Amino acid sequence: MTAADLGNEGVLWTWTIQSFMPKTPYHTDETPETFKPYGVGYIELACGLKVESRLRENQADQLEIGMPMKLEIITVRKDDEGSDLLTFQFCAAEEQV
């Protein structure tokens, strides 16, 4: 095996909206009452690899196949000691002006 830099940008290959709370082992501080839908998609990286990811955007009119995306790190919940537990998601990349 060889380490490889996959980068932090890609394009949205396909997507859907997760409109219900996932089953265990999904582990956040959300409850069925506080759950908010979120996008889930495959991001195609420059190297051709496709990565499944949570998406910041959560409405159909915010997502389009082929749109540029970028990686961001987010807090998914806090542990018992109050430390942030992190994960990644992708979001729409800012357009260059």
Q: Return the domain boundaries, the chain.
A: 9-92
Mean pLDDT of the chain: 90
pTM metric for this prediction? 0.82
For residues 1-28, give the mean pLDDT.
89
Contact 60, 9 (CB under 8 A): no
Q: What is the pLDDT of residues 32-78, one digit of tens each?
A: 898 899 999 999 999 899 999 999 999 999 999 999 999 999 998 88
Spatial distance between the Cα atoms of 29 and 48, rounded to a whole number of angstroms: 34
pLDDT at residue 97 in the model: 40
Residue 86 pLDDT: 93
